[in-house]
Amino acid sequence: MKRILPAFCLLAVTVAAVRVTAQVHPFRDGTPGVAGYRSEVLAIVMIQGDEFTRLAEAIPAEKYTWRPSPGVRSVAEVLLHASAANYNMYKLVGAKIPEGIDTKTMEQSTTDKARVIATLKESYAHARQAITDMPDADLEKSMDWSGGKITERGVLLFIVPHIAEHLGQLIAYARFLGVVPPWTADEQKELEKKDSPAK
């Protein structure tokens, strides 16, 4: 289960990200104040944050403690794990974790839907600001990484699929719980409008 789920999740989120059907449209509307490579990363992060938030809002509060099997993250834990990653990963490119944020305990800090969503939104605001504030000159800076080296450009490249994996995980959870991802529901409504006979 643990091996199969991430693979399915990554496929699901890749398809969703390509269609760009969430409420935000940074590839169309742009990323004011940010250009080049950072703009491309920011656009994807904005889409992921929007989809995470919309899906979190669509999942019923009583399902936030649901997990597919023992030892696997619950709905709330997936959302808070992604939130913690938004602080921990961007710390590597110079964005300090705000005072009062404890990423070590964040994942198990709450199962309250409102608090989880608030934490998620705050973490994405932090991620967007980190990318916005990062100088382009820092992209080629190198650091130690898993026994080798990586640039800050590479760190940004690593963050996107890492978070996408967990978004895909949450999409799989939602489907199992009978929750249709909101952007899919939007598409279905549009198709129904097109298929409806003209009056």
Q: Specify whether the CB–CB gap between 169 and 181 falls below 8 A.
A: no
Name the more confident of 13 and 158: 158
Position 14 scores a pLDDT of: 42
pLDDT at 28 over 60: yes
How many domains, in total, are found in the chain? 1
CATH number, position 95: 1.20.120.450
Q: In whole angstroms, what separates CA 147 from the centre of its chain?
A: 27
Domain with 50 in it: 4-195
Residues 6 or more apart from 138 whose CB is under 8 A from it? Answer: 93, 94, 152
Position 9 scores a pLDDT of: 46
Q: What is the mean pLDDT of residues 147-174?
A: 96
Per-residue pLDDT tens over the stretch 73-126: 999 999 999 999 999 999 999 999 999 999 999 999 999 999 999 999 999 999
User: What is the C-alpha separation between 54 and 171, in angstroms, rounded?
Assistant: 11
Position 199 scores a pLDDT of: 58
